[in-house]
């Protein structure tokens, strides 16, 4: 068998599927034969694992199929499968848990009667492992544990090498399932070597808890993806940090993310001072950064929508006290020596339109005029306390200038 | 050229002016040089301002400079940046400084080896390490750009990325852009690589085939994480200079290196 085949995600998932099929075929019949809910419950857990493997292969196959009618193709079929599988696991957990609970409650008859008043429980059945069945049971469970470790680690290695999140995640799940199998094996050994037959029922409850845990995780994952849950906060933070490191970006606004399996969707609006002619290159740079960040989090595909916008328009009105003499104009050191007022429309911090007006003959008139012109800032070299009060009364603030040249204000 | 770097910037109290000032301060701090803040004025303006304040012109100028110092202190510029204020009489160019770098839109009043348009940036670089992109064609202006870039890079501890775009040579089958370079460009690349290495700098050469030169080099600058694009404006080109085009499409600061034409 060639190395390329051994490293193929499809091949390794196929091997995982075959492994689960063998486990189911071995555990469920033997578990039923020895009346062990712990064992056949574990076998039913493997049914869910087999379905998950099948869904994973389905996702890998359909993720490349483009269907015009559906924006993400058929990739979300996996999420429906997850909801169904998770639900089946919860039903299995209920069945296994009922039998385990019945066995445990048999030790407290009074409590048993009370619980049966509202919860239908079966009659507890004793585990009966025949002399010939015990080695078979140990071989099945022990072999199952070893297979889980070997195949799981192989899946993780192949998944990482191919940057395939589905295979990697399934490998991790396979490895952790092995520890449940180890617990079940421990229970069987305890029952049959040490005579601890009471171990069966608490162990069955433990298996039921594991089934509930796995089922709810699968349902939650499927539901989150269907509802387009946002990417994890640390991923979003990494994205923002990467985008802000791009020269030209002032702010990230209207930021939206969600994941569909290993596909990440990002929509963002960025604010920039760069002219429209530079927006294409800015978008190119941002998307390259996003690709790099998403690859670190194992997103092998992504859709990125980046809009470039100017900063939010900020308009204000500036009035500068000036001294004019012939062709020469300077900023007035004080209001008293000014012989004109220059009103400036400012947009995003840059002066736009200028108009000159005569000075007012009193401070109240100045206040009224500044208020009428909706002045935000008044500038001169300095001002007296009375002038400051008059300026503030108009709703404006005073800012002293450092230089006497209008050039220093770009006026 | 003097080993002491001087970075000059005209004082402006607008948002863009203060952004340029912050960039210039950061650059001079990183160069371990001196920041010269220029206060341009005309003689007639000074005379009028002095009359308005009832002071003599010298006092008026001194008080203005003091006011400017207070303003700069309030701006919290880098502590490692040495600063000085220079009043610039626009009517008398005899005492104008000749800094190595001027920060502002090109062209500027002062003669400087390098003019940097910071494109709204207030820091030399948002990421480390610092990298400078030096495009080259097959003309001599790239050598001038490289000399300045290499000195800057050496002082900043930056890396240099040499960048070249080439046309596709129809007779060449290879898809490697280097195989499509003309002989002049290859020779220039060798020369530039050698010169950069002589400065002890880490240098990479990138060759691409792109449709638009300016867009290609800006994308390359982004792709390699460059904080500055260093180009020289050839004095022979009357219109359509790649420097001007690059400044239009780049949100990364562009350094415009002055090429001094040798007189025969």
Q: Where are the alpha helices (DSSP H) in A7-76?
A: 9-33, 37-62
Average pLDDT over residues B210-230: 91
Average pLDDT over residues B173-190: 88
The answer for B 206-225 residues in CB contact with A (under 8 A) is: 215, 218-219, 222-223
Q: How far apart are CA B124 and CA B103, in angstroms?
A: 11
Identity of the residue in B42, B67, B249 whose CB atom sits nearest the CB atom of A402:
B67
* Cis check: omega of the bond before B212, within 30 degrees of 0: no
Pairing of strands A328-331, A315-325: antiparallel
Residues 6+ apart with CB under 8 A from B69: B85
Q: How far apart are CA A248 and CA A245, in angstroms?
A: 9
B65: three-class secondary structure by DSSP:
helix
Residues in chain B: 264
CB contact under 8 A, B48 and A328: yes
Q: Are A57 and A90 within 8 A, CB to CB?
A: no
Does A349 reach chain B within 8 Å, measured CB to CB?
A: yes
CA distance to partner chain A, nearest, from residue B109 (Å): 13
CB contact under 8 A, B60 and A288: no
Does A275 reach chain B within 8 Å, measured CB to CB?
A: yes
Q: How far apart are CA B18 and CA B11, in angstroms?
A: 8
Q: What is the ipTM of this complex?
A: 0.82
Q: Is A409 exposed, middle or buried (0-12, 13-18, 19+ CB in 10 A)?
A: buried
Report helix angle B141-156 to B15-31, nearest 10. Answer: 70
CB contact under 8 A, B215 and A246: no
Residues 6+ apart with CB under 8 A from A280: B215, B249
Q: How far apart are CA B217 and CA A248, in angstroms?
A: 16
pLDDT (tens, 9 = 90+) of chain A, 411 residues, equals 677 788 888 899 999 999 999 999 999 998 888 888 878 888 888 888 898 888 888 877 876 677 788 776 777 777 777 788 788 778 888 888 888 888 888 888 899 889 889 988 887 766 667 777 888 888 998 999 999 999 999 998 888 888 776 787 788 778 878 877 887 888 788 877 887 777 778 888 888 888 888 889 888 888 888 888 899 999 999 999 999 999 999 999 889 999 877 789 999 999 998 888 889 889 999 999 999 999 888 887 888 999 999 888 889 999 999 999 999 999 999 999 999 999 999 988 888 899 999 999 899 999 999 999 999 999 999 999 999 999 999 999 999 998 999 999 988
Q: How far apart are CA B211 and CA B167, in angstroms?
A: 9
Q: What is the DSSP letter of B135?
A: E
Q: What percent of chain B has pLDDT over 90?
A: 44
Least confident of A200-204, B11-15, B229-233, B260-264: B260-264
In a mutational test of the B interface, the residue from A277, A281, A321 whose CB has the highest number of chain B CBs within 10 Å is A281
pTM of the full structure: 0.75
Which sign does the torsion angle of CA B12, B16, B18, B19 carry?
A: negative
Q: Can you list the positions of beta strands (E) in A326-376?
A: 328-331, 340-347, 350-357
Identity of the residue in B44, B120, B248 whose CB atom sits nearest the CB atom of A277:
B248
Q: What is the DSSP letter of A359?
A: P
Identity of the residue in A248, A288, A403 whose CB atom sits nearest the CB atom of B251:
A248
Closest residue of chain A to B70, computed from CA coordinates: A402
Q: Give the H or E element holding residue A398.
A: strand A397-400
* Residue B165 or A221, more confident: B165
A136: three-class secondary structure by DSSP:
helix
Residues of A in contact with B49 (CB under 8 A): 323, 330-331, 333, 404
Condensed to tens digits (0 to 9), the pLDDT of residues B88-118 reads: 899 988 888 889 999 998 777 888 889 999 9
CB contact under 8 A, B223 and A246: no
CB contact under 8 A, B49 and A282: no
């Amino acid at each position: 068998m060639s190395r390329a085949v051994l490293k193929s995600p499809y091949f390794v998932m196929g091997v995982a599927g075959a492994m689960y099929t063998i486990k189911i075929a071995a555990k469920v019949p033997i578990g039923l034969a020895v009346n062990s809910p712990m064992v056949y419950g574990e076998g039913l857990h493997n049914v869910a694992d087999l379905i998950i493997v099948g869904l994973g292969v389905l996702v890998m196959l359909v993720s490349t199929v483009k269907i015009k009618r559906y924006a993400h193709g058929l990739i979300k079929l996996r999420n429906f499968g997850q909801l169904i599988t998770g639900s089946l696991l919860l039903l299995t957990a209920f069945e296994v848990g009922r039998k385990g609970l019945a066995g445990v409650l048999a030790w407290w008859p009074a409590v048993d009667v009370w619980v049966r008043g509202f919860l239908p429980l079966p009659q507890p059945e004793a585990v009966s492992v025949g002399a010939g069945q015990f080695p078979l049971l140990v071989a099945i469970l022990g072999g199952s544990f070893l297979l889980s470790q070997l195949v799981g680690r192989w899946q993780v290695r192949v998944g990482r090498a191919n940057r395939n999140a589905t295979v990697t995640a399934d490998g991790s799940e396979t490895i952790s399932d092995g520890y449940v199998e180890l617990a079940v094996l421990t229970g069987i050994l305890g029952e049959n070597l040490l005579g601890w037959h009471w171990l069966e029922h608490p162990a069955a409850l433990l298996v039921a808890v594991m089934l509930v845990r796995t089922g709810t995780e699968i349902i939650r994952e499927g539901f989150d993806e269907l509802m387009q849950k946002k990417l994890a906060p640390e991923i979003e933070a990494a994205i923002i940090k990467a985008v802000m490191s791009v020269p030209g970006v002032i702010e990230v606004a209207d930021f939206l993310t969600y994941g569909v399996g290993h596909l990440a969707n990002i929509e963002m609006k960025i604010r920039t001072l760069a002219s429209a002619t530079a927006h294409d290159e800015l978008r190119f740079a941002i998307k390259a950064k996003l690709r790099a960040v998403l690859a670190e989090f194992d997103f092998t595909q992504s859709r990125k929508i980046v809009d470039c916008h100017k900063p939010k328009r900020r308009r204000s009105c500036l009035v500068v006290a000036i001294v004019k003499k012939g062709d020469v104009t300077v900023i007035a050191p004080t209001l008293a020596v000014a012989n004109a007022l220059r009103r400036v429309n400012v947009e995003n911090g840059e002066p736009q339109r200028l108009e000159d007006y005569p000075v007012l003959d009193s401070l109240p008139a100045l206040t009224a005029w500044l208020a009428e012109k909706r002045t935000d800032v008044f500038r001169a070299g300095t001002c007296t306390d009375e002038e400051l009060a008059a300026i503030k009364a108009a709703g404006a603030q005073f800012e002293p200038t450092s230089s006497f040249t209008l050039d220093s204000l770009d006026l | 050229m003097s080993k002491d770097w001087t970075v000059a910037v005209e004082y402006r109290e607008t948002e863009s002016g203060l952004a340029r000032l912050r960039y210039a301060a950061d650059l001079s701090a990183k160069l371990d040089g001196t920041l010269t803040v220029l206060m341009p004025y005309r003689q007639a303006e000074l005379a009028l301002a002095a009359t308005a304040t009832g002071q003599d012109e010298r006092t008026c100028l001194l008080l203005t400079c003091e006011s400017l110092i207070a303003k700069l202190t309030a701006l919290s510029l880098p502590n490692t940046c040495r600063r000085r204020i220079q009043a610039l009489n626009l009517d008398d160019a005899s005492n104008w400084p000749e800094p190595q770098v001027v920060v502002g839109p090109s062209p500027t009043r002062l003669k400087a080896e390098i003019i940097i348009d910071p494109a709204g940036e207030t820091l030399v670089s948002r990421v480390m390490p610092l990298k400078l992109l030096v495009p080259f064609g097959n003309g001599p202006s790239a050598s001038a750009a490289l000399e300045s870039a290499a000195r800057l890079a050496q002082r900043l501890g930056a890396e240099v990325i040499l960048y070249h775009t080439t046309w596709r040579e129809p007779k060449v089958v290879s898809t490697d852009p280097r195989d499509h370079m003309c002989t002049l460009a290859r020779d220039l690349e060798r020369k530039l690589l050698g010169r950069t290495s002589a400065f002890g700098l880490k240098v990479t050469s990138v060759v691409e085939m792109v449709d638009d030169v300016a867009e290609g080099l800006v994308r390359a600058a982004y792709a390699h994480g460059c904080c500055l694009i260093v180009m020289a404006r050839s004095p022979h080109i009357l219109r359509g200079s790649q420097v001007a085009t690059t400044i239009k499409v780049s949100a990364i600061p562009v350094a415009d290196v002055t090429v001094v034409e040798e007189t025969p």
